[in-house]
Amino acid sequence: MAKKRTTIQLNLTLCCCFLFIDFCFSIIGTQKTDTIFQGQEFRDWEHLNSDNKVFRLQFFSPGNTKNRYLGIFYNLPPDVTPNDYDKRPVWVANRDSPIPDASGNLMIDTDGKFMISYGEGQEFVFFIAPARSNVSSRLLDNGNLVFQELNNSDGSVKQILWQSFDQPTDTLLPGMKLGLNFKTGQRWLLTSWISDQVPASGSVTFGVDPTNQLMIWWRGSVVWNSGIWQNGHFDYMQNLATASDQYGDLNFSYVSDEEKKYFIYSASEGQILTRYTLDSSGIVNDSTGSPTFGACTPHPAFVPGCNMEILSPCRRADLDREGDLLFDQTQGFPYGDSIVLDKNNYSLFDCRVECRSKCSCVAYASISDNGTGCEIWSNLQFEMTDFKQSREIFVIRRKPGIIGSWVGVAVGFTIFTAFWCLCIVMLRRIRAEANLGNKMREKRLLYELQRAAAPAIYKRAKSRDEKIGHELQVFSLESIELATNSFSNRNKLGEGGFGSVYKGELLDGRAVATKRLARTSGQGFQEFKNEILLIAKLQHTNLVKLLGCCIEDEEKILVYDYMTNKSLDLFLFDPHRKELLKWTNRLNIIEGVAQGLLYLHKYSRLRVIHRDLKASNILLDDNMTPKISDFGMARIFGAQVSEENTNRIVGTYGYMSPEYALNGVVSEKTDVFSFGVLLLEIISGKKNHRSYDSERPLNLIGLAWEMWSEGRALELVDPILEDSSHSKNEVMRCIHVGLLCVQDQAKDRPSMSDVVSMLTNDNLHLPAPKQPAFFIGLVATQEPEKEQEIKDPNLKKCSIKHLSISEMEPR
């Protein structure tokens, strides 16, 4: 009897346990499996699936490496046979910060920090939430990992604080943007892996150019472009409008306005595995691994949009019939004369380009098993071996010797003949040009401008006016004289060192401003030519629009859109008109000029340093929108160049940075300094090159610095703004940014990207400014348009003969 009672009790206990376990699982089943909550850890061996299990989040190790990365993958349906691209992650969180072991945890700590923690206290932080926020992270069914703030009342989403779609790696998914945001400075780009085993950022990027076309860059140089977006497709990709992949239809669209430009696509409902992936050789492959964008190999000359690589003459003998330099892949143990480019960010594609560009190179290979680094040989010998030292080598395919010899002779004879022909042509040209007058030289300049500004054939207009390309127009002198009433004084808007500006009205009714270059101007042909060729290629809402030019009868004239409110200095330094500049107008002008400079420095097709930013070069339209003008002194920089030295220093006294005025060093920070001076002038309504102390020559920068140091910064504000409604925090932030921009050392000044963030993000912490440059003892007493001599006790002689200093009157 006792034994029977014990059996019954045991059975009851087991039933209770099973019921409790089932109850626990039912509760767990109601929790979201796609979400990580605050205080929860997602460990290395775990998976996080999206709601409908389309995507999963997990740690992984690519190839044979032991490094661990956090990535998002497609979940493959059972009936799909995966290819190599299906197995690749669509996003990698810590691509440039690998974890050396399996200690990684994705978590949101109690302070709202969204991060990966690993090792002994090491962290990789994505985002830090505002204090006392209710936050969580969720993997969505579109592959987007979001860090979101929740409402405390019902747990609904309050706002998205961070998302992986804003930090793309090498893959574009449906709904993901590819482009740029001018207002926030955000840029959505794909960046290749270095190799299949190393997800770190490679040398190839894929994105949208401000000219409304897709582009692929290799180390900053354009290697492919799609053509302009129009009529629902890009010029060189007309089949894009009806594109589809193996799983369904794709819909592509392009959004472009003043704030943003981006390319985006969507997939039909239920479609899976759709993606576009940028590989390390600059090709964008679709979800099947087939080339779609930028497929410029092997013969780029026959692919629209591809910029064919120009090889040196020494490589011509090795080209195949289609004009390509081919390599044979082999295995072996190499030895011989070689150069090792031991850079972690070198891919096999980078190594190939290096070899193509060097006449002595006969072969190349990676220096590691994971496909990174580069070694190139000028003299190669190798042994065929099966040992572990065996390497994969790419050897230039040589033509048979006799053919190569005849080709060499033919090339040499051609070069010799071409050289003598060139000499004869040049001698004739020199003799002819010696007899040309001013009029013929000006016609030659006009032809040069036409060819440089628009390589395409330009069409003659109905009148004597001509168009360069689609936008820039070459006006006849007759049409300019009719528009300005023969340069009547009644039409005169202003005058400066360059000449005079006149208001005009074209035959089609358009109001224009014509800048007539004076014969005695310090700005000559170079500045005139520079402005035409440069500004014609720049398009931004905060840059003045150049309509055309006129070169005839020794006249050099530029024609712009007419700005109703003329220039900023007309308002800013006039005791009566400055009343029209309310604080909101001044703040909009500050932010607009900052956006224009950011475009010039970072987003324009040409990386441009303005070098003469000042109040008289900021024009205002009907809505008081600022337009940066006068690009005659601008400097074009290469993509990889951060600063240059110039022997010809040009600009306006009071706006030039110290390193530029004294040493001729020009960089983006040159414009940043000028912007800081302009910002302080806009806030105070005072000119920088005036003295604001009776006992010492203290300029505006010095005045602002002293007031800031003494806690009286608000006293700098223009008294005319006392009765207007303005935020003290906004004013203080602007003064703070202005002082950061005029710091003595260029390295201490922020970039224009940072400046835009500082002006638009109230929550951004600003560093304390250091002592500014040129704030005492250098207040101008010279007349405008005179050559200035800048003396430095450390220099034996520092007379800058070509220094062009101008103080221009308003337009």
Q: Which residues are catalytic?
A: 612
Give 120's contacts (C-beta < 8 A, 6+ positions apart): none
Q: Which two tokens stand for residue 775?
A: 């704030």
CB 691 within 8 A of CB 700: no
- What's the CA angle centered on 609, arms 604 and 612, to 5 degrees? 130
Distance of CA 699 to the CA centre of its chain: 35
CB contact at 8 A, 492 and 810: no
Which residues have a Cβ under 8 Å from the Cβ of 290 and sit 6 or more positions away? none
Rounded CA separation 753/669 (Å): 11
Are 266 and 290 in contact by the 8 Å Cβ rule? The answer is no
Q: How far apart are the first and last CA of the chain?
A: 113
765 DSSP assignment: P
724 is written with which tokens? 């207007």
Cα atoms in the 13 Å half-sphere on the side-chain side of 29: 6
User: Scanning the structure block, which residue is given the tokens 């460990």?
Assistant: 43
Question: For residues 187 and 274, is the Cβ–Cβ distance under 8 A?
Answer: no
The C-alpha atoms of residue 804 and residue 622 are separated, in whole angstroms, by 32
Scanning 322-437, the segments in alpha helix (DSSP H) are 348-357, 401-434
d(CA 367, CA 356): 18
**Residue partners of 467: CB distance under 8 A and separation at least 6:** 458, 459, 461, 473, 474
8-state DSSP, 773: S
What is the residue type of 261? K
**Would you call 426 exposed, middle or buried from its count of C-beta atoms within 10 A (0-12, 13-18, 19+)?**
exposed
Strands across the sheet with 122-128, in order?
41-43, 105-108, 113-118, 122-128
The CA-atom distances, in angstroms, between 688 and each of 279, 579, 654 are 52, 20, 6
Q: Three-state DSSP class for 780?
A: coil
- Whose CA is closest to 278, among 215, 334, 212, 370? 215
How far apart are alpha carbons 111 and 271 in whole angstroms? 39
Longest CA pairwise span in the chain (Å)? 133
CA distance 706 to 472: 48
710-to-84, 597, 706, 714 alpha-carbon distances in Å: 65, 31, 6, 11
- Rounded CA separation 330/731 (Å): 67
CA distance 524 to 497: 11
Neighbours of 549 (CB within 10 A): 26
The three-state secondary structure class of 14 is helix
CA distance 388 to 331: 11
Q: How far apart are CA 556 and CA 659, in angstroms?
A: 33
Other CB atoms within a 10 A radius of the CB of residue 734 amount to: 23
How do 260-267 and 157-163 pair as beta strands? unpaired
CB–CB of 760/183 below 8 Å? yes
CA distance 259 to 227: 21
Reference 656, options 792, 762, 806; nearest CA is 806
CA distance 780 to 496: 18
